[in-house]
Chains A and B, each alone.
Chain A
Amino acid sequence: MKLRSLLPGAVLVLLFFSSALISYIWTPFDVTLIDIKSRFLAPDATHWLGTDHFGRDMLSMLMVGARTSIAVAFVAVGIGMLFGVPLGLAAAAHRGKFLDEAIMRGNDLVFAFPALLIAIMITAVYGPGALNAIIAIGIFNIPVFARLSRGAALSLWKRDFILAARAAGKGITRISFEHILPNITNLLIVQGTIQFSLGILAEAGLSFVGLGAQPPIPSWGRMLADSQTLIYTEPQLALFPGLAILLTVLGLNLLGDGLRDWLDPRLRRER
């Protein structure tokens, strides 16, 4: 059961991660080079996926685009964990007290803003760009991780080994980091994978409406946006970037499911 989603997931993720990495040292063509004369070329032996409206090689664009998507989503999830997990742990440690209440209400507040709205508002203030997309997606990830780690930590606080640690005189901050955090790592990795895939979707959406990475940096969402007016004449331009997003997200989701089953046998109930 576990291999069924772990393996294809891992393969897909590996494919896109490695092409993103390779793009740093090599791409079939230079993506900053615009050559109007060779635009809209059909896929052939030279340009495996054809060329876009500026005569750029689609395969190279997709490879560099992968690194934009992955970088934005990765950092955004990192921000979410970096802030969310300590907040969640603190809330759990101070369960029912003011701090807990304040953190959870803050969470609700962020949740009350639809994610896309946060992104639009941030980019409206600071202008569009990859960095602001990261911040926008990152902010939305904070309450996700805060809630998750609070919930998981709460049940741990009742366990015997924590009570033992308390009896031994350890402070709550120390317990949180020494005993609770290691025990929720698996959960965080699984959720992280899922948030990663959501981050890739969000980055694509933001770039699609022009709020993500700016030209000349290629991004999948903007490639799709550029292809929108050409969909009547050059539909293939809309096909490849969409497939790239779909397969990456699919890979990450499968990987997440697989990891959950693999890392946490208790969850390996037949679902």
Chain B
Amino acid sequence: MLHYLIKRTLILLATLIVASLVVFITIEVVPGDPASYMLGLNAQEDTVAALRAELGLDKSRVARYFSWVGGLVTGDFGTSYTYRTPVADMIRDRMWISLPLAVFALLLSTLIAFPAGVFAASRRGGITDTTVMGLTQLGVAIPNFWFAMLLVLLFAIKLTWFSAGGFAGWDAGFFAAMKSLTLPAIALALPQASILTRVMRSSLLDVMNEDFMRTARAKGLSRRQALWKHALRNAMVPVLTIIGLQFSFLLAGAIIIENVFFLPGLGRLIFQSIASRDLIVVESVVMLLVLAVVLVTFAVDLAYAWVDPRLRSSR
């Protein structure tokens, strides 16, 4: 196990280093100079050059790469070109929207998917099952940003229960803040809940076919009793894996939803920064999201290896 752990950790580090190179090189070739963008149409050449020097853009690419990576490791993400404030502060502020939103959506998705999946599995083939499965087909197929627009249409415009977008801010109180995250979280959660329901159901059904379940049933437990007592726990591994993956997806995948609801989260930060060629912010946010994905995958892999020792050698 220790050998496996070391190997996986090294791979993790290598992935991150390669990813940082890919990110840096990709973003560096993005056309458009942040300095001339900031100074606008009437700026003189020497003014632009002065600003480039001030921002450190006149240094060589290699030097910039190492100072960027060095900063990332020590938690110093550099200074935003446009806002002139530490990138780390900006990311932290945005995180306070994106992270709660992802957690909220994941919670909703799990709260919907667990009962729905169990329900469908325990009534396999029945009307309930068919209905739930049909709904999940819809849930998987619906574009979440369109679903978001429909939510706005119904709950913000027709019923005026929620505002059509924007973030109240944590200063406005926990409930006000959560209220402005509710519609976005629902929009994000629906497709995830549909996927999770399907995984939940099929992994329960898989477990039900296993020998120990047959034994349990032979001992006189009803189908439903067997499901609750034995199957649920054993079906959790694939479900938790999916939840883990969904979390990193939600963190990064909220970009479009943040746009629909005008939430100043990480996704909007990326869009704005690309538009204003605030390269250092783009690089750092992308790297952060990559890190989140890689770490979750790492954790899932380790969990698997722990559960199933055979996997340690096969990868």
Contacts and interface: CB of A to CB of B under 8 A. Distances in A.
Contacts of A208: 143, 145, 256
Interface string A201-241: 10011001100000000000000100110011001001001
B18 A224 contact: no
22 contacts: A109-B18, A112-B290, A113-B293, A114-B253, A114-B293, A120-B270, A125-B26, A125-B30, A204-B143, A208-B143, A209-B256, A224-B149, A228-B149, A228-B260, A231-B153, A242-B146, A246-B143, A250-B137, A250-B138, A253-B140, A270-B205, A271-B205
In the A-B complex, list the 3 residue pairs whose CB atoms are closest, starting with the nearest. Answer: A114-B252, A242-B146, A250-B141
A238 B152 CA distance: 11
Interface in A230-271: 231-232, 235, 238, 241-242, 245-247, 249-250, 253-254, 270-271
A124 B274 contact: yes
A202 B252 CA distance: 14
Given A120-B255, A209-B256, A242-B150, A113 B290 contact: yes
Contacts of B30: 124-125
B29 interface: yes
A82 to B, nearest CB: 22
Interface of B: 11, 14-15, 18-19, 22-23, 26-27, 29-31, 124-125, 137-138, 140-143, 145-146, 149-150, 152-153, 157, 202, 205, 248-249, 252-253, 255-256, 259-260, 270-271, 274, 282, 286, 289-290, 293-294, 297, 315
A50 B21 CA distance: 50
B19 A109 contact: yes
Nearest to A208: B145
A3 interface: no
Given A114-B293, A271-B202, A271-B205, A246 B18 contact: no
Contacts of B290: 112-113, 117
A197 interface: yes
Interface string A171-199: 00000000000000000000000000100
Nearest to A257: B137
A30 interface: no
A116 interface: yes
A111 interface: yes
B192 to A, nearest CB: 13
A121 interface: yes
A201 B191 CA distance: 12
Contacts of A231: 149, 152-153, 157
Contacts of B141: 197, 246-247, 249-250, 253
Given A116-B256, A121-B286, A270-B125, 12 more contacts: A116-B252, A116-B253, A117-B252, A121-B23, A201-B143, A204-B146, A208-B256, A209-B256, A224-B149, A238-B150, A241-B146, A249-B142
Contacts of A238: 146, 149-150, 153
A115 B248 CA distance: 12
A108 B297 contact: yes
Interface in A88-123: 104-105, 108-109, 111-114, 116-117, 120-121
B293 A111 contact: yes
B199 to A, nearest CB: 11
Contacts of A117: 252, 255, 270, 286, 289-290
B314 to A, nearest CB: 9
A121 B26 contact: yes
B157 A254 contact: no
A258 to B, nearest CB: 12
Contacts of A113: 19, 286, 290, 293
B259 A209 contact: yes
A112 B297 contact: yes
Contacts of A249: 140-143
Contact of A246 (B138, B252, B260): B138
A189 B309 CA distance: 33
B149 A242 contact: yes
Nearest to A206: B256
Contact of B11 (A105, A197, A247, A253): A105
Nearest to B158: A235
A254 B137 contact: yes
A250 B137 CA distance: 7
